[in-house]
Every structure is written in C-alpha cells, then in structure tokens.
Amino acid sequence: MDALNTLGAAPSTLADLALNLLLAGTLGILIGLHYRYLGASLANRVQIAKVLVFLALTTAFVIAVVKSSLALSLGLVGALSIVRFRTPIKEPEELAYLFMAIAVGLGMGADYRLHTVAATAMILAVMTPVQLFSKRDLGRNLYLSIGIDADEDLSGGAAVGPIEAILGRHCAKVDLRRMDREADRLELTFFVDVTDASQLQHLTAALEATFPRVRVTFVDQSRMPGL
C-alpha cells in the first residue's frame, strides 16, 4: 500500500525509522555543503548549513510519527500554531535551500526513500552548474565599520549616500547592517564582499579622500569566533 494513501498506515518500525533518519541526515549534509560552498547569499552560510541538517532530520521524524495517526496529525497542527519564527529570511536562495531540506524530511518520513534520493540528486545536479556559472560570491565577506566625526548636517545622514556610492564602486556586494548617530559622530556597519586585498586599499583611500577624519575597520566574518 502507498505510504501516503491513508493516515491510518502502520507506523514505521525502529529499523525503518533509523534508516530514514540516516538517509535524511546524509542528504541534509549534502544540501548544507552545497549551500555552504556554492551559495551566493551574504548570510553566514556555515551556520545555516548546519541548520539544514537538523531541519531535514526533524521533519523526517515528525512525519514518521504523525503519518500513522489522524489524531497526532491534528495535534501537530495545533502545536505548530503557537510557533513564531522571528529570524528574517533575507535571501531567496536561503529560503530555497530550507524548502529543499524540508522536502527531504517529508520524503524520508513518508518512506519515499528512492524517490527522495533521486530527486535530491537531480536537483543538486541541476543547481551546481547554475551556481558555478552565475555571478556568485567569489570573494571574502567582511564586516566594514566606518566612523566619521563631522558636523550636524553630515552626521544627520547626508554621508550615508556618498559612502554607499564609494562602497558600490569597490565592492561586489554591499549591505548596510547598522547605523549609530550621535551629535557629532556617525557610525556605520556594512557587510561587504571583496575579491582581493587591493580593493580594500582602494576603498580606504577613496573614503579618506572624501572624509579626511574617517575611521575604517575591516573584520573577516569567516574568521570570527563561533562563525
């Protein structure tokens, strides 16, 4: 009988559940590695790659539990109705990988092992050349902190536009993460992508030429503790 034909199907045996979780975890690791090394998102791909594995495993376990009982499935709907996710998804690519991990968990939890493995392999095979030949993150993701001591007009936000224009000429990607304004000082934090060290030198020189009293700090996020 098809595993998804009814909610009254027999529950999975312990051996079946262990096999499904093993396969879901393996596919989750593959999806995470694909996202980590081929993804173009500015977000921290290392941490998200780890989450993809847990997401695939958890989804597989939940489906394995509720597929045999209508009461359990209705209870799951009620339990999930109180969950609130407050972490924003900033990149469409990140959402696509999350859905893929969920799909793996759904397939494995429903005992569609061969279908899930084949579909995952095909999707990753198609995505790989697309990611390789598209314009993606080929450089280094850095946190750039810029501090300016200026008069009231400049600290009021008039410097943000010129700074973003300078960053746009020297960085492949620019994302403003934080702005702190005081009476005579403006602090900006950007997440930027550069391909080589010479870009940092040109960027710093351009900022100093426009704002003589600027303070510039670069932090390589991939080398920060815990990332």
The full DSSP string for 161-204 is HHHHHHHHHH-SEEEEEEEEE-SSEEEEEEEEEESSHHHHHHHH
Tokens of 104: 């793996």
The 8-class DSSP code of residue 154 comes to I
146 backbone dihedrals φ, ψ, rounded to 5°: -125, 125
| Domain shared by 128 and 144, yes or no | no
Q: Does residue 174 fall inside a structural domain?
A: yes
- Predicted confidence (pLDDT) per residue in 34-86, tens digit: 998 888 765 567 888 889 999 999 989 888 888 766 666 666 655 555 455 55
Higher pLDDT, 216 or 185: 216
Q: 2 lies in a domain?
A: no
**Residue carrying the six token digits 């670069």:** 218
Domain's final residue, options 101, 133, 165: 133
> Same domain for 75 and 152?
no
Residue 8 in domain = no
| Two structure tokens written together for 189 | 């934090």
Is residue 129 domain-shared with residue 164, that is, in the same domain?
A: no
Q: Indicate the pTM of the whole model.
A: 0.57
- Most confident of the following: 49-58, 63-72, 154-163, 200-209: 49-58
DSSP assigned state of 173:
E
84-90: list long-range contacts, CB under 8 Å, 24+ apart. 90/41, 90/42, 90/43
Specify whether 163 is located in the same domain as 110.
no
Mean pLDDT of 162-181: 83
Last residue of a domain, one of 80, 101, 133: 133
How many structural domains does the chain have? 2
Q: 27 and 111: one domain?
A: yes
User: Is the domain of 105 the same as that of 158?
Assistant: no
Give yes or no: residues 176 and 122 share one domain: no
19 and 128 assigned to the same domain: yes
Mean pLDDT, the chain, rounded, equals: 77
The two structure tokens encoding residue 176: 């403003």
Indicate which CATH number applies to the domain containing 182. Answer: 3.30.70.360
Residue ranges making up the domain that contains 165: 140-219
Query: Which of 85, 116, 133 is where one domain is finished?
Result: 133
Query: In terms of domains, do 86 and 196 share one?
Result: no
Taking the CB of residue 22, how many other CB atoms lie within 10 A of it?
A: 13
Are both 27 and 117 inside the same structural domain?
yes
Instruction: Say how many C-beta atoms besides its own lie within 10 A of residue 106's C-beta.
Output: 18
What is the β-pairing status of strands 173-181 and 140-149?
unpaired
Start-to-end CA span in the chain (Å): 46
What number is the average pLDDT over the span 198-203?
A: 79
**Residues 46 and 102 placed together within one structural domain of the fold:** yes
Q: Decide if 68 contacts 109 (C-beta within 8 A).
A: no
225 three-state secondary structure: coil
Are residues 177 and 108 part of one domain?
A: no
